[in-house]
Amino acid sequence: MKAPVLSSWFTRGAVAAPPDIASASLRSDRFRLEREGDWRRLESIVARMERGGLKRIPDDDLLALPALYRTAASSLAVARETSLDAATLAYLEALVQRAWFQVYGPPKGFGAWLRDFLLGGWSRTVRALWLDICIALFVMVAGSIVGWLLVARDEAWYYRLVPGGMAETRVPGASREELLATLATEENAAGLSTFAAYLFSNNSAVCILAFALGFAFGIPSLLLLVHNMALLGALVWLFAGQGLTLELAAWLSVHGTTELFGILLSGAAGLHIGRSMAFPGSQPVLAAAAQAGRRGAVVMVGVVIMMVVAALLEAFPRQLVEGTGPRFLIGGMMLAFWLAYFFLYRPRRPQEDSA
């Protein structure tokens, strides 16, 4: 198996002309020689398609492809019943399989898929996950309340929830001025773009983890949500102690409305997979998981886009825009935009086969 694969990379073309049909003494070999030209043509078209140059293939060949594919498929069906030539049968099986992958290949290119995705596909999928989104939202709210309550009862929890390196001045017992300083703006934009790139890469990885963990019946996804939101709850408790709740909310809302929405969606996508594996309904578990996984994957592509937006917002407007009002305005606008995009924007579904 291995040797022919490697050798096929180096030896290409050089096909000997088939012998005269009449010279074959066997009926099945005459059958084969009559059709061999079509098979070879199909093979060369398929090989060119596999190499990726769909544009370089002449229109004649592309038009002939379905007919040639069906010819080869019917040749295989006939040969199985009439021929005992193992080599020809193996060749035909391989050829039909390769052609099948191309004829029934991906329904559209990545560009076309992305356009459909942005113009309706994404929001449609998000709406399909409404129940999971509700559950994930509930868990997130509960998580932040738990975080608040834990820290309010015992300050030691704060150090457990909030990693030390992340915010040194934001610790229990910090003065109002110190806390306000962490919400202040930078003087200029220098260094912020690196910050944005770092944030994006980091947050997207967290979201992908939340999605992937959904495989274990969704429980780890929910735990991850609780953990992240408990951190937020602890932070809110800290700032509320100094009467800075509103300032913190404004500071967070700039990017948080996008970022938390993204985390919510990835948690919901993970939960969706876990839920459909635990309760597959009338489908087999594997089919249900596959369906949910594909749906979740669409949401996750969107989440990565949201993380790009969130990172840009977090790095530039949040650090540059001063004042509670403007910050709330940016955050509120983003939230309104996402809600409208997901739940109000309902373009008609494009006509296509649902394969």
Partner 1 sequence: MSAAPRPSRGPGKRQRIMVTPEGLALPIALASRGSRAGALIIDVLIIVFGLVAFHLLMFWIAGGLLEGTALDVEAAPRGAQEFLQILLVIIVFVTWYGYFLVQELGPRGATLGKRAVGIRIAARSGGRLPPEAVIARNLMRDIELFYPLGFILVLLAGTTMGEELGPLAWIATAWFALFLLLPFFNRDALRAGDIIAGTWVVETPRTRLAGTLSTQGAAATRGESEVTGARYEFGEAELSVYGEKELQTLERMLRESPPEALTAVHATICRKIGWEPGAGDERAFLEAFYAQLRAKLEGDMRFGKRKADKFS
The interface with partner 1 within residues 107-146 (CB under 8 A) comprises 107, 110, 113
Query: In the range 178-207, which residues lie near partner 1 by CB under 8 A?
Result: 190-191, 193-194, 196-198, 200-201, 204-205
Q: Which of residues 94 and 340 has its CB atom nearest to partner 1 in the complex? A: 94
In the region spanning residues 209 to 228, those forming contacts with partner 1, defined by CB under 8 A, are 209, 211-213, 215
Q: Which residue in 139, 244, 264, 300 binds partner 1 (CB under 8 A)? A: 300
- Residues in contact with partner 1, total (CB under 8 A)? 89
Using alpha carbons, select from 116, 90, 92 the residue that is nearest to residue 36. 92
40 lines the binding site for partner 1 (CB under 8 A): yes
- Hey, is 165 helix, strand or coil? coil
- Indicate which single residue of 61, 64, 100, 186 sits in contact with partner 1 (rule: CB under 8 A): 100
CB of 167 or CB of 285, closer to partner 1: 285
Distance CA 25, CA 140 (A): 77
42, 65 Cβ separation under 8 angstroms: yes
- Measured from the CB atom, the residue of 151 and 311 that comes closer to partner 1 is 311
Choose one: 55-63, 101-109, 128-136, 161-169; the region binding partner 1 (CB under 8 A). Answer: 101-109
Task: Tell which one of 128, 145, 219, 301 touches partner 1 (CB under 8 A).
Answer: 301
DSSP state, residue 243: T
Query: What is the rounded CA–CA span in Å between residue 240 and residue 206?
Result: 27
Shortest separation between residue 342's beta carbon and partner 1, angstroms? 18
Give the max Cα distance, the chain.
Answer: 99
Task: Decide: is 102 part of the binding site for partner 1 (CB under 8 A).
Answer: yes
Shortest distance (Å) from residue 209 CB to partner 1? 6
Provide, rounded to whole angstroms, the least separation between the CB of residue 86 and partner 1. Answer: 4
Contact 311, 200 (CB under 8 A): yes
User: Residue 174 or residue 277: which is nearer to partner 1 going by CB?
Assistant: 277
Which one of 66-74, 138-146, 318-326, 334-342 is the stretch in contact with partner 1 (CB under 8 A)? 66-74
Give the chain's radius of gyration (CA, Å).
30
Sketch the per residue contact string, 273 through 292, with partner 1: x for CB under 8 A, - otherwise: x----------x-xx-xxxx
Q: Is 266 helix (H, G, I), strand (E, B) or coil?
A: helix
Q: Which residues within the stretch 328-347 sit at the binding site for partner 1 (CB under 8 A)? A: none
- What is the H or E stretch that residue 319 is in? helix 317-320
Question: Counting contacts by CB under 8 A, is residue 245 touching partner 1?
Answer: no
Q: Does 160 bind partner 1 (CB under 8 A)?
A: no
Helical segments of 51-85, H only: 59-82
Choose one: 1-9, 157-165, 235-243, 257-265; the region binding partner 1 (CB under 8 A). 1-9
Q: Distances from the Cα of 133 to the Cαs of 143, 186, 196, in angstroms?
A: 15, 35, 27
- Can you tell me the distance from the alpha carbon of 177 to that of 290, in angstroms, rounded to the nearest whole number? 53
Q: What is the 3-state secondary structure (H, E, C) of 203-217?
A: HHHHHHHHHHHHHCC
Within a 13 Å sphere around the CA of 96, how many CA atoms are in the beta-carbon half?
A: 14
Query: In terms of Cα–Cα distance, which of 205, 194, 228, 231 is closest to 312?
Result: 194
Among the candidate windows 45-53, 156-164, 167-175, 240-248, which touches partner 1 by CB under 8 A?
A: 45-53
Name the DSSP letter for residue 23. Answer: G
